[in-house]
Amino acid sequence: MDVNRRRFLEIAGGAGAAAAAGGCGAIGGTERSGAKPSTVAVKQLEAAASRPVLRLEGLDAPLVIDSVRLLRKEREYFVHVRSRDGAEGIAVTNSRAGNLHPILNRRVVPYFVGKDARELEGHLFGVYRHQSNYKLQGLALWCPVAWVEFAILDMLGRVLGKSIGELFGPVIRRDVPFYVASGRRDSTAEEEVEYLRGLIAETGAKAVKFRVGGRMSRNADAMPGRTEKLIALSRKVLGDDIAIHADSNSSYDPPQAIEVGRMLEDIGAIYFEEPCPFDHLEDTKRVTEALTIPVAGGEQEFSQRRFRWTIANRGVDIVQPDLQYYGGLIRSTRVARMAELAGMPTTVHISGGFGFIYMLHFASYTPAIGLYQEYKRNIERYRDWFDPPLEMGDGVLIVPRGPGVGIANVSDVLKGAELVES
């Protein structure tokens, strides 16, 4: 492995590998005991992934799910779960609920009604098998499963008086450094850099992500010359202290990805996301091997076995399950455990305006998360749902403290919401 890449991975996530191998590196520190990816056997990865995830001590009686409902209020969708004895939990979904509600209501909810919420980990396999749901798998199945999982985790947290992070392990951080992501490709390089400057000024971020290439474009740029110009200009205008991330959204074949990756190396960017078509694991691995800059990927992945392959074969340097597309926090934690064994950070991808809240809970208990986590703005939309209200510090977001997801009053948030039937 290249020296620069090894150094990055030590900083970004090597502490987890050190801990897993019995080392003593501090979180975010630079010590590791040299667990190399090629030495992590598939068996070890599988064992790490299959260990129980949730800590539900104190829940001695069954918590039987009585209802799971999809609700809508203006542009926001919610999943609300209630137990037979009146406990409740809530999830806020990404916008795909507008298309996926029939799968949620007809294929996922019926499985969960009548089940014991304490057995949530096992239910993730149960719902996958239920009525051959596995034939639908991809984000169309796993987003609805994630929403029900989030709502059940919220309910479990409320019953136990614990935050979601505390259900998974000790909370090891409350401050989460973030990068602010631009979602644009319709801008010229000059316009985009000005836009990034505005995002930094607005949020206080120490890191940004911009888009390169044309999105699934077979090497075509969004507009001629935009990518080269944007990469050079971003460093010049944003200065040396901003950590730069770039995402091609599956734009390139390996030669083109390597060329763009070299430009990113030249400006000291810290990662290159999804350089090749997302399901082209071999091409992505070729790029990972060729470049010094860490390659990140996995936001479209929905298979634990393919994540395992990617981790065992160092197909990327940083894994990025999307907490909703991939089916929730439990499944993503299993990926993070495998990645940690191989000395790789898990920097989750987020979807939905509220998605950064689930990212914050994931970051609160996951040892090796990488340097910066994704944030797409919107904190003001949700700030007062929480008690204390959501906060940002100097380049960091603060993990909510209340039980469950941290929403203070479910009835207030759902006031005026209407049932979505399918």
# residues near Mg ion by CB under 5 A: 2
Stretch 272-331 residues interacting with Mg ion (CB under 5 A): 273
Helix %, strand %, coil % of the chain (to 5): 45, 15, 40
- Least Å distance between CB 142 and Mg ion? 17
> Closest by alpha carbon to 349, among 292, 298, 280?
298
User: What is the x/- site pattern for Mg ion, positions 210-249, by CB under 5 A?
Assistant: -------------------------------------x--
14 vs 6: CA distance, rounded Å: 9
Q: Of the ranges 1-9, 73-81, 95-103, 269-277, which one interacts with Mg ion (CB under 5 A)?
A: 269-277
Q: Of the ranges 108-116, 203-211, 265-273, 393-401, which one interacts with Mg ion (CB under 5 A)?
A: 265-273
- Least Å distance between CB 292 and Mg ion? 20
- Least Å distance between CB 262 and Mg ion? 20
Angle at 306 between CA 182 and CA 209, to 5 degrees: 10
Q: Given the complex with Mg ion, which of 163 and 332 has the nearer CB atom? A: 332
User: What is the x/- site pattern for Mg ion, positions 27-66, by CB under 5 A?
Assistant: ----------------------------------------
Neighbours of 411 (CB within 10 A): 8
User: What is the x/- site pattern for Mg ion, positions 100-129, by CB under 5 A?
Assistant: ------------------------------
Q: Given the complex with Mg ion, which of 189 and 296 has the nearer CB atom? A: 296
35 vs 37: CA distance, rounded Å: 7
**Which residue's CB atom is positioned nearest to Mg ion?**
247
User: Where do the H-state alpha helices sit in 204-314?
Assistant: 226-238, 254-266, 281-290, 304-312
| Residues 6+ positions from 54 with CB-CB distance below 8 Å | 120, 121, 156, 167, 168, 330
- Least Å distance between CB 299 and Mg ion? 5
Nearest-10 crossing angle of helices 329-341, 304-312: 20
- Binding-site ranges for Mg ion (CB under 5 A): 247, 273
